[in-house]
Structure 1
Amino acid sequence: MKFTNGYWMNRPHVEALYARQAYTLGVGADGESFDVLAPTREVKGRNDTLNLGTFEVRVSTPAEGVVRVQSAHWLGADVTPGFPLNVDKPGDRDYVSVTTEGNGDGEVGEDGARVTLKTGDLEATVVKGSPWNLTFSANGRTLTSSQGKSLGRFQLDELSAVTTQPVGEFGVSKDGSAYDESDVFSAIQLSLGVGETVYGFGERFGTYVKNGQTIDVWNQDGGTASEQGYKDIPFYMTSNGYGVLVNNRGHVSFEVGSENTDAVQFSVPGEALDFLVIYGPTPKEILNRYTALVGRPANVPAWSYGLWLTTSFTTKYDEKTINSFIDGMAERDIPLSAFHYDCFWMREFQWTDFEWDKRFFGDIESTLERLHKDKGLHICAWINPYLGQRGKMFAEGKEKGYLVRKPNGEVWQTDMWQAGMGLVDFTNPDARAWFKDKVKTLLKQGVDAIKTDFGERIPRDVVWFDGSEKLSMHNWYTELYNQTVFEAIEEVHGVGRACLFARSATVGGQQHPVHWGGDCESTFNGMAQTLRAGLSITSSGFGFWSHDIGGFEGAFPDPAVYKRWVAFGLLGSHSRMHGSTVYRVPWLFDEADEKNGVKLVPGQTAVDVAREFTKLKLSLMPYLYETGLQPHRAGTPVMRSMFVEFPDDPACRTLDRQYMFGPSLLVAPVFSYSGDVEYYLPAGVWTNWFTGEKVESAGQWRKENHGYDTLPLWVRDGSVLVTRPGAETPEYEYGRDALVSVFLDGVDSAEAVVESESGDKVTFSARRTADGVEVSSSDGRPFRARLGFGEIVEAADGKITL
């Protein structure tokens, strides 16, 4: 949201007040915080204190390495709630200190004196006097600062409203100057250094580096080819070693080196601002502290890593159709782990009523039991929090007061999506329990996971049961919705066995995995947008992420796009084939090629590609499952950008067409019909997965051409990669019958911890000796081993020298 017109002037109908001076500095009574009075013009004498606005600023620490700043112009104004934070208990904070220079009479003394809060290695300092200043530093290095005309309060008059958006007294202008939420906004600018790059903000479909972008944290169902997002997170981190969380559940607007090219500005409606600066210095350390603060992702069940197949969205299906898909995958030797029923398991006009459409699904309990026992599948079912008025739940919810209401007391309704639909009020504990019971009934019928679709279309002018500020609920609603469903799954299937497939999220949503990337186009551009979104969401505290393999939108994806997407999609944490009007089973794409006169080359068909990469992923489960425990333990995502894994390599900062799949595997999807791909190998020794080629890179770009059955997939030196070739399921004891591949070209030792869902755990170690490379298991169990992709040797006694 932009308030200024160039460097010197404000935009029309905008009146600005800025903090101009640090007038008084006081140490908090707790000895772990300090307060600043910041007038909006410089005070030189007593008369200057009259008719003068001020900012009350408090600087504190909720956890080691984190500084919280709370600023308010008027303390009596309503404040939009922030997010639940895991704050360290007072008295347990031996990492914090407040030091002053020139302390006297309870205040820091003359101009030029200073006060510093130190929490771990992070320091926040204010120097008394003009101009306004607040500096964040670590180990003698400045990270960022708010200097001069940077902390502001902006008043808009009625002429700033735009008549094309008649949703309140204040509209949103095409230049992004204001929303209809308020006539007052608070903002601050935090400086950017030369060459500093910015990442995060949730699932964003534009470039991974966010410099130059305007980002509005306001969840919307806008598709993937837009500036809108389903999972907008008011958190970012930079290449300078810190992250920032704006602690506000409502609309937060960011100008990332856009309004001021030297700073990130963020603004919120109202008189108060609350944000936290989180020190790293590495991206992984930032994510560790950030997720410790707002909640770590839960662990997900092992079965969820396998291939998911869906009915797709508006397709016509019944039990016969579903069985043809499931049997067709088995006949083609493509292992399937989960099957998903999308919307039309319920009758049209009645979503969401949790009632199976008996015209197509008669004895559903028996059907689901057969799919579990005979086919070895896990089952997912689609829901959303919108209740069509024709369904039984609408009448029940209306009668019991469980639906969101308008200010006049009527149930809020719309025809957008389902006719006359209402919205479950998850701020009502009884409504949450009611909805949770419906989910549990579905789970007990034989459903293992729930796809929680939607959650973004939340109205503004409604009344919430708990009295929540109406605009603070737009983004926060999805957290209550997904949390309710996730809890239901945990209560039925157990902790560590719960799995969502959620579309919308806000801060806190990372605790309830998995999330997928929304409605992407079935094109190479759609595929690239999807990858950029995945890199952004996993740089925002989310440990797991998926997307619609083949793309969602489009009558029928090009077979080439589909096959390239299959390879990409199966080298990620969660893999689902899903579309809109056309099923995404691979043999349909081979039939399409035949109809178009394209010769089907063995090994290059959609069926072949799906088989190969599905089995590749299943063989990687010992590596993948252990990697998937890291989000819960330390906040490190399964899939991570090159910047997150290689922050010291400047070339990695802008890369958004490749990624690291865990710490050891580099993946560069192919986004072209020709099979041409260009990508970057960071410094080190790398081994090609498909060819065994070794490359000693000093940091190099490569151009290659790939058939559909390969893509750039490289193993990083220093890896001990544990796999089980030939695996047909994601559920097995990962340390048993293991193949241990050792990559020690540039290091002397390495190890891999392998932990199964059952609790079985083993460490495979490799170290150089005078005789070669010794490989051993921690408990003496047998395994097979090889150097790189060389000859495989049996280690029957749990140890061998290669």
Structure 2
Amino acid sequence: MKFRDGMWLAAEGKTVQYAEDIYTTTEREDGKAIKLLCPTRHIYSRGDVLNLSTLSIDIEAQFDGVISLEVCHFTGALRHGPNFDLYPDGYPECNPSISKSSKGTTISSGSLSATVHPDQHTFDIRFHATDGLRELTSLLNRSVGLAYSPAISNPKQVEDLRDLKHYVFTQTELGVGESIHGLGERFGAFNKVGQNIEVWNEDGGTSSDQAYKNVSFWMSSRGYGVFIDTPDKIDLEIGSERCCRLQTSVESQRLKWYLIYGPTPKEVLTKYSILTGKPGKVPAWSFGLWLSTSFTTNYDEETVTHFLEEMKERSIPVEVFHFDCFWLRSFHWCDFVFDSKYFPDPAGQMSRLKSANLVNKISVWTNPYVGQASPVFAYAAEKGYLLKRENGDVWQWDLWQTGMGLVDFTNPEAVKWFEGCLDSLYDLGVNCIKTDFGERIPTKGVKWFDTKVDPQRMHNFYAFIYNKIVYETLQRRYGKNQAVLFARTACAGTQRFPLCWGGDCESTPAALAESIRGGLSIGLSSFSSWSCDIGGFEGNPPPWIYKRWVAFGLLCSHSRLHGSNSYRVPWLIDDDDRSSGNCTEVLRTFVRLKRRLMPYLYSQATQSFRMGWPTSLRACALEFPDDSTAWYLDRQFMVGESILAAPVFTEAGDVEFYLPAGKWTSFWDGKTAQGPGWRRETHGFNTLPLYVREGTVLTLGKENDVDGEGFGYDWLEGGEVRLYCVKEGDKATVVDKEGNEVGTLVVGKDGGIEGIEEALKGDWGFWRISELDKAQ
């Protein structure tokens, strides 16, 4: 939202007032914050203090490297919920200091400081490294303010705010060449400078500026990030109102954000995850292939069994089979009752599929709505489990499901009922839940059971409540680290309830690129696990798109075949083509590759859960923050810290990608290349650019699935250790299938590997790039 018309004028229909002075600077009694009183005009005489607005600014030390800033106009405004669940694992130690010098008043929180200019008439708040080596950003002249819309001509109009919108905003400085990233799963340009972004969950697919997963956190290439502490609608003008500033505005009396200093982007993410929660740990088996019925396709027990038998016959192990919407009766979504016409014995069916080693786990689709055609609607409405309008009616509309209502998760009894419905699915043999929808949450004319919550703030926050409830039921049934969701909507903190997927994409090269940008972007909000619909959701992918997407999708942390109105089993994509490079062969190749990578991949994932990092897709900038090019790479990604992957977007196989500084080795043929620099290659369907970083000790497991053991196999029993241009001291952590650290492989002085006996068992082969060293 723009408050100005160019540089000099206020925007039409808006009154804008800026904090002009810092009239007083006061230290809070506990020594952890300073409070600024900021009039909206310069104060030169006593008479100047009359008939004007003031803004109060609280700057508070949170923990090492983190300082919060809150701007408030009318402090008497109620603080309505819901609020983000911050510091879920407890508050870190904080030892702040406040000092005064000729440069002004400085509050320090470990490595990060904020300095307020000593001159009352100079509005200047600078955020910088405490050691003075790095300037991060500043709030300068006319960078903090309030606005009314429509414009007011008389201050008395503020007597009644019902017909006025009131905004608070800040404008932080953007440095020359600075780039901005994150803000959840966004499918547009990776660098957000020049964009207007609304942090507001919408069901908009992957090809617009709308997003399913809006996270109010952005990361700067200058070594800091900002978390905006409100689930309310946030409007960001990122170098788009003033080219040199990032404007954050909310329709509220308050705006609070946390500035997080790394200095590396990995450290920024770790501190952000302390603030909003660590990403949840997912089990190793969940990294295997998920196969879906797809959305509107016709299927029953015979169809499902046939698909799984064919996959087994073609040596493509399926870890999880997913039943999408039509396991339920039409118009009854979501009342948790299997359609008996197509699934007369759901518990028996699931048991038969598992006992035949056709699949290891079962997933079903759900959403938080109830269609009025189901008798469950009348029951839930009578009990008060559904959201109501202000006049007491159940809130309903016909978008998606006829006359559907929305489960009111602010009602504890509704939560218990919903949990009981989920438990009935687990009793049948369901192991995972796809938590679809949850974006279109109404804000006007509705009344939640908890009257203390603001409907506007509930819109984004509903995603947190919804996924938390389902995730915790899975934890209670299957164990703390065995719970797995497939969620579409999210907000800040939802990374605690993994995992999520990218939503409704088309079956095109452009949509493949959109999905990659979405995965990269949400990874910069501490979501360790992410997936997408392989082949695209909408439409029928031509075989070449399907195969290129398979190569990408099996290098994501989680991999699912899912579509809208057509099946995604490979033999139906290419009419069961048996020539070299057919869909079945390509899918088998990349499922086997991912399974072999599990010792490395799960070790990287375990570290990511602990540190708040993405596993894959991991933006190259996280590993190479000092490489300016890395901050613009949105067609490639890191799989953990050591493997770089570049998806192919053409049928012919030509691809351009960038290797950062260092020596890189092709995973496929051992040929080496030197970075930094751009490369062009051509790939068939069974490969893509996959390069291993120098200094990598890569542990690979077995290639073939044995009798349905899946991806949670014991990879410590034997495999291969590859050494890529290693030197003394290079190492790799080895974890078991539960994620427990069992040892470390370290390169010794003579180039040998130490720690093998402690970490590995069975038969292992060794491979060194120094023996081949096929330089290109």
Task: Return the TM-score normalized by structure 2.
Answer: 0.94
Report Cα offsets for 1:708-734 as digits up to 9, x if no partner: 011000111111111113241201123
Q: Which residue of the partner structure matches residue 450 of structure 2?
A: 466
Counting only pairs closer than 5 Å after superposition, residues 351-370 of structure 1 correspond to structure 2 as 351-370=333-352
**1:502 alignment partner, one of 487, 491, 498:** 487
SS in 2 for 1:20: coil
Displacement after TM superposition at 1:100 (Å): 2.2
Is structure 2 residue 455 aligned with structure 1 residue 454? no
Query: Structure 1 residues 392 and 791 mapped into 2: Cα distance closer, same or farther (>3 Å)?
Result: farther
Tell me the amino acid that sits aligned with residue 527 of structure 1: L
State the match for 2:156 in structure 1: none
2:415 corresponds in structure 1 to 432
Q: Deviations over 1:364-385 (max 9, x none)?
A: 1111111222224210000000
Q: 1:442 to 1:182 in 2, by over 3 A?
A: farther
Q: Supply the distance in 2 between the matched residues of 1:780 and 1:559 (Cα, whole angstroms).
A: 42
SS at match of 2:507: coil
The answer on 1:337 being equivalent to 2:319 is yes
Q: Distance in 1 between matches of 2:334 and 2:624?
A: 45
Residue 221 of structure 2 aligns with an amino acid whose one-letter code is: S
Shift of 1:508: 1.1
**Structure 2 residue aligned with 1:490, among 449, 453, 475?**
475
- Pairing 1:614-763 to 2, within 5 Å after superposition: 614-639=591-616, 640-697=618-675, 699-728=676-705, 729-745=710-726, 747-758=727-738, 761-763=741-743
CA distance in 1, matches of 2:57, 2:560: 48
1:561–1:673: 8 Å Cα contact kept in structure 2?
yes
Q: How does 1:88-487 map to 2 (within 5 A)?
A: 93-101=93-101, 114-128=104-118, 129-138=120-129, 139-140=131-132, 141-157=134-150, 183-375=165-357, 376-461=359-444, 462-467=446-451, 468-487=453-472
Question: Could you give the per-residue CA deviations for residues 411-446 of structure 1, whole angstroms, max 9, x where no partner exists?
Answer: 000111111100000111111111011111101210
Q: Is the 8 A contact 1:201 1:233 kept in 2?
A: yes
For 1:590, give the aligned amino acid.
D
Distance, in Å, in 2 between the alignment partners of 1:737 and 1:789 is 20
Structure 2 equivalent of residue 163 of structure 1: none
Aligned equivalent of 1:175:
none
Counterpart in the other structure of 1:27: 27
3-state SS, counterpart of residue 752 of structure 2: strand
- Counterpart CA distance in 1 for 2:747 and 2:282 is 32
Verify the 8 A CA contact 1:735 1:762 in the aligned structure 2: no
Q: Distance in 2 between matches of 1:501 and 1:63?
A: 33
Confirm or deny: 8 A CA contact 2:170 2:249 kept in the other structure: yes
CA pair 445-127 structure 1, distance change in 2 beyond 3 A: same
Q: 1:443, 1:365 → 2: CA distance?
A: 10
Per the alignment, residue 164 of structure 1 pairs with none
1:563 to 517, 525, 547: 547
Aligned residue pairs, count: 751
Confirm or deny: 8 A CA contact 1:437 1:488 kept in the other structure: no
Q: In structure 1, what is the Cα distance between the partners aligned to 2:14 and 2:151?
A: 10
**2:295 is paired with a residue of what secondary structure?**
coil
Q: Which amino acid in the other structure matches residue 427 of structure 1?
A: T
Q: Which SS does the other structure have where 2:579 is aligned?
A: coil
Following TM superposition, by how much is the alpha carbon of 1:71 offset from its aligned partner in structure 2, in angstroms?
1.1
Write the distance in 2 (CA, Å) between the matches of 1:187 and 1:87: 28
Partner of 1:165: none
Note the C-alpha offset of 1:735: 2.0
> Residue by residue, what CA displacement relative to the aligned partner does 1:28-61 show, whole Å, maximum 9, x if unpaired?
0001111000110010111111112111111112
CA distance 1:223–1:760, change in 2 (3 Å): closer
Question: What residue number does 1:108 align with?
Answer: none
Match of 2:85 in 1: 84
TM-score scaled to structure 1, two decimals?
0.91
Native 8 Å contact 2:14 2:152 kept in 1: no
User: Aligned-pair distance for 1:758?
Assistant: 4.1
Partner of 2:528: 543
User: Residue type of the partner of 2:564?
Assistant: S
Kindly indicate whether the alpha-carbon contact (under 8 Å) linking 1:80 and 1:250 is maintained by their aligned counterparts in 2.
no
1:573 is matched with which residue? 557
Relative to structure 1, the CA distance from residue 182 to residue 463 in structure 2 (aligned partners, 3 Å threshold; closer, same or farther) is farther
Q: Secondary structure at the match of 2:714?
A: coil
Tell me by how many angstroms 1:125 deviates: 1.2
Q: Is the 8 A contact 1:734 1:755 kept in 2?
A: no
Question: For residue 159 of structure 2, what is the aligned residue in structure 1?
Answer: none
Helix, strand or coil at the partner of 1:629: helix
Amino acid corresponding to residue 330 of structure 1 in structure 2? K
CA distance in 2, matches of 1:336, 1:87: 35
Q: Check whether the contact 1:31–1:98 (CA below 8 A) recurs between aligned residues.
A: yes
Matched residue of 1:144: which SS? strand
- Structure 1 residue 742, shift from structure 2 partner: 1.3
Alignment partners' CA distance in 2, 1:235 and 1:58: 20
Confirm whether residue 517 of structure 1 aligns to residue 498 of structure 2: no
How far the C-alpha of 1:781 sits from its partner, in A, is 4.3
Distance 1:487 1:630, change over 3 A: same
Residue ranges of structure 2 left out of the alignment (5+ in a row): 154-161
Q: 1:137 Cα shift?
A: 0.2
Deviation at 1:256, TM superposition (A): 0.8
Name the SS for the 1:237 alignment partner: strand
Q: How much does 1:696 deviate?
A: 2.7
Runs of at least 5 residues in structure 1 that lack an aligned partner in the other structure: 102-111, 161-179, 595-599, 793-802
How far apart are the structure 2 equivalents of 1:383 and 1:789?
Answer: 48
The SS at the match of 2:363 is strand
2:584 is aligned with what amino acid? V
**Structure 2 partner of 1:49:** 49
Secondary structure at the residue paired with 1:16?
A: strand
- Give the secondary structure class of the aligned counterpart of 1:31: coil
Give the root-mean-square deviation of aligned CA atoms.
1.9
User: What amino acid does structure 2 have at the position aligned with 1:48?
Assistant: D
Q: Distance in 2 between matches of 1:689 and 1:67?
A: 43
Look up the SS of the partner of 2:698 in the other structure.
strand
Whole-angstrom distance in 2 between the partners of 1:361 and 1:24: 71
Contact 1:40 1:53 in 2 (8 A): yes
Q: What is the deviation of 1:572?
A: 0.9
Alpha-carbon contact 2:293-2:299 (below 8 Å) kept: yes
- C-alpha distance in 2 between matches for 1:254 and 1:781: 51
Maintained 8 Å contact 2:474/2:484: yes
Paired residues of 2:665 and 2:693 also in contact (CA < 8 A): yes
**Structure 2 vs 1, CA of residues 38 and 436 (structure 1 numbering), >3 Å: closer, same or farther?**
same
Residues 514-541 of structure 1, C-alpha deviations (whole Å, 9 max, x = no match)? 1000000100000000000000000112
Among all aligned residue pairs of Structure 1 and Structure 2, give the percentage whose two residues are the same amino acid: 44
Q: Secondary structure at the match of 1:309?
A: strand
Q: Distance in 1 between matches of 2:637 and 2:739?
A: 30
